[in-house]
Each structure stands twice: as structure tokens, then as C-alpha cells.
Amino acid sequence: MRAIVLDRPGSFRVAEVPDPAPGEGQIVVRVDACGICGTDIHIMDGEFPPTPYPITPGHEFAGTVVAVAGDVRMNLPVGAKVAVDPSLYCGYCRRCRSGRDNLCENWAAIGDT
């Protein structure tokens, strides 16, 4: 598939990258629409220290489910239209337990590096 790849701060290219396959507990979504947010701009400018370059930006997206791992227990069949929240919340820290998962102490995000 074609994707933008940020090789290092200030340097990007359009590249052919391998189509993803779902790992355990995962689905693959074909991106139909993608936004570029402030975090992506900080990554492009080299202002987001944990960034593992090269990286493909665009973690805010919507699309169509194209593959589902066998152990996925949600009703997300191939062909389903989805909007993706890239945030991964632990569900166990005090903030998650109080309904403030946006402040999760163990927050992470999905994405392909």
C-alpha cells in the first residue's frame, strides 16, 4: 500500500509499504479518510521525543475493516465501516477507574512504526 513515511524530523516521502496482517486480537482497517493532528505536526518537527523514526503519521482515521484475527470477540466483520480512537487506556489506574481515561497513567496509542 502507499503511505507517507517520516524518516526523520523534517523529512518525509511517499512509499510502498507492506499491507498489514492482523496479529492476535487485532483487526486491519483500510484507511478511507485520515486527519493530520497536532501530534503529527510535532512528530514532523522532531518535537515528540518518544517517536521511533521512521513512522507513518495519521493515527486519526476512519475506514473499512478488511481483516479480522480469529480471536477477536467483537462484532467487527470484514466490510464494517469504523472510526478509530488510537488511544489505549489501561482501565486499571486510578484515573481510568474514576472515568478519566483521557488522563490514563499508562496511556499508549496504536500505530505502525
pLDDT in tens, 46-97: 998 878 899 988 888 999 999 999 999 988 899 999 998 888 899 999 999 9
Q: Among all chains, which residue has been given the C-alpha cell 476512519? A: 62
Per-residue pLDDT for 25 more than 80? yes
DSSP labels, 41-65: HHHHTT--TT--SSB----EEEEEE
Q: What does the domain layout of the chain look like in residue ranges?
A: 2-109
pLDDT at site 78: 96
Question: Which of 82, 74, 77, 102 shows the shortest CA–CA distance to 90?
Answer: 102
Q: 2-109: which CATH architecture?
A: Alpha-Beta Complex (3.90)
pLDDT at site 11: 95
pLDDT at site 86: 83
Average pLDDT of the segment spanning 16-45:
91
Q: What is the mean pLDDT of the chain?
A: 90
